[in-house]
Amino acid sequence: EAGVTQFPSHSVIEKGQTVTLRCDPISGHDNLYWYRRVMGKEIKFLLHFVKESKQDESGMPNNRFLAERTGGTYSTLKVQPAELEDSGVYFCASSQDLQGAFGYTFGSGTRLTVV
Amino acid sequence: QKEVEQNSGPLSVPEGAIASLNCTYSDRGSQSFFWYRQYSGKSPELIMSIYSNGDKEDGRFTAQLNKASQYVSLLIRDSQPSDSATYLCARTGRGSTLGRLYFGRGTQLTVWP
């Protein structure tokens, strides 16, 4: 079984540019999550999709962040325009059970650096 | 108050010793708790989950949960250098946030030969 795939693995962009991160969950997993780890801080929740619907997006920091999951398969997270404080590692995760209560499978993350 | 607090570390133990990792959480209603292991530059990997008070053992790993004290721990017996990693404690949310995990900052463990 293929795991959760994220790309790019690294991205360096200038402040004000746009970046789109992609996540391919494990096939058949309806639940998809985005998390972010800023240096020195804990991993923090961004949002949760159930199929193509946003179940919980209360962790999204501001309206510069837009997540989509068309067709309930892969998801994208767009940051536009990027700011310096957006730098960090963005993780995607997926789970089969309804609410991820039995743990998720994480992708290897995208390290975003905004300069 | 942080949602999940972990002992700050770093923690360094010799090979063969028991490593003890601790975690407290603020939401008394939390139901599910997890320990993830993260090697440098890699994704968090689920190693233990625990839902009931008491101990849960899996190989060299034992998770302990005390809901009254809002305390979760992970013991690693016969520690190996390959156990060197950052260990993340996490709990699930409740109600509308049931699908999210709240993480601690992690404890870096080094097992030296």
Residue of A nearest to B47 (CA): A103
Residue B1: pLDDT band (50, 70, 90) is: low
Q: Cis link prior to A8 (omega < 30° from 0)?
A: yes
From the list A48, A103, A105, the residue facing B100 with the nearest CB is A48
Better-predicted residue by pLDDT, B98 or A30:
A30
CA distance to partner chain B, nearest, from residue A18 (Å) = 24
Does an H or E element contain A55, and which?
strand A53-56
Least confident of A69-78, A91-100, B53-62: A91-100
pLDDT of residue B3: 84
- Contacts of residue B42, defined as CB under 8 A and 6 or more positions apart, other chains included, come to A108
Per-residue pLDDT tens over the stretch B17-52: 999 999 999 888 888 899 999 999 899 999 999 999
pLDDT of residue A16: 97
Decide if A47 contacts A78 (C-beta within 8 A). no
Residue A43 has pLDDT above 90, yes or no: yes
pLDDT of residue B100: 86
Decide if A6 contacts A22 (C-beta within 8 A). yes
Residue B89 has pLDDT above 80, yes or no: yes
pLDDT of residue B29: 82
Burial B20-58 (b: 16+ CB within 10 A, else e): bbbbbbeeeebebbbbbbbeeeebbebbbbbeeeeeeee
CA distance to partner chain A, nearest, from residue B92 (Å) = 7
Contact A43 B44 (CB under 8 A): yes
Question: Rounded mean pLDDT of chain A?
Answer: 92
3-state secondary structure of A52: coil
From CA A66, how far away is CA B21, in angstroms rounded?
36
**Chain B environment of A104 (Cβ under 8 Å):** 46, 101
10 Å Cβ neighbour count for A72? Answer: 15
* Residues 60 through 79 of chain B touching chain A, CB cutoff 8 Å: none
Contact A105 B96 (CB under 8 A): no
Residue A104 has pLDDT above 70, yes or no: yes
**Chain B environment of A108 (Cβ under 8 Å):** 42-43
From the list A31, A56, A104, the residue facing B96 with the nearest CB is A56
CA distance to partner chain A, nearest, from residue B46 (Å) = 7
Interface test with A, best of B56, B96, B101 (most A CBs within 10 A): B101
